[in-house]
Amino acid sequence: MPTHVFTYGSLQLSAVMSAVTGRHFAAVPAQLPGYARYSLRRRRYPGLRPRRNHTTPGVLYRDVDALSLQRLDAFEDAFYRRRRVTVYVGGEHPVLADVYVVEAASYRLLQPRRWELAVFRRRFLKPYLRHCRRGFAAAPRDEAVVSACGG
């Protein structure tokens, strides 16, 4: 059964999502209350953790199929876990979705500085996409290759 997926980092960009899954999905802006996004130590993409009085903006992809979820699971680093959360579309419509959250044992990787999508797009997107596409084209189910481009 298809699942909605909330993204808050590099996967917000449809080019990254399609490089990872090989598919295009309907997408809408969404908000995830009760979570905060952080930069990750030595990585170009962010991590998410529960945090009271915080809201994280992102993109909700609708009706993501099982094979694409498997590819997303392989794409994300081992310190993430997929969780079911409630996100809000248009500020008021609650939607159940899966999101990748940093596990508590790995909070040491989180840094207090903000992660900015515009900076990622401007400075890192092109080489990141090349690396991800190359990894998935070579071995779409090989976690070692897939995780090299990181979540």
Q: Which of 72, 119, 62 is nearest to 100 (CA)?
A: 72
More confident of the two residues 97 and 142: 97
Evaluate if residue 143 carries a pLDDT over 80: no
Evaluate if residue 145 carries a pLDDT over 60: no
- For 23-49, b/e burial (b = at least 16 CB within 10 A) is eebebeebbbeebbbbbbeebbbbbbb
The three-state secondary structure class of 1 is coil
- Tokens standing for residue 14: 């449809």
Give the residues across from 101 on adjacent strands.
81
- Tokens standing for residue 130: 């090349």
Can you tell me the mean pLDDT for 14-34? 95
Q: What residue ranges do the domains of the chain occupy?
A: 3-149
Span 52-93, pLDDT tens digits: 999 999 999 999 999 999 999 999 999 999 999 999 998 789
More confident of the two residues 41 and 134: 41
More confident of the two residues 48 and 143: 48
Predicted TM-score (pTM) of the model is 0.88
**8 A C-beta contact, residue 72 and residue 81:** no
**At 135, is the pLDDT very low, low, confident or very high (cuts 50, 70, 90)?**
low
User: What is the architecture of the domain spanning 3-149?
Assistant: Roll (3.10)
Evaluate if residue 105 carries a pLDDT over 50: yes
3-state helix, strand, coil in the chain (%, to 5): 35, 40, 25
- Structure confidence at residue 2 (pLDDT): 80
- Tokens standing for residue 79: 């310190």
- Structure confidence at residue 115 (pLDDT): 93
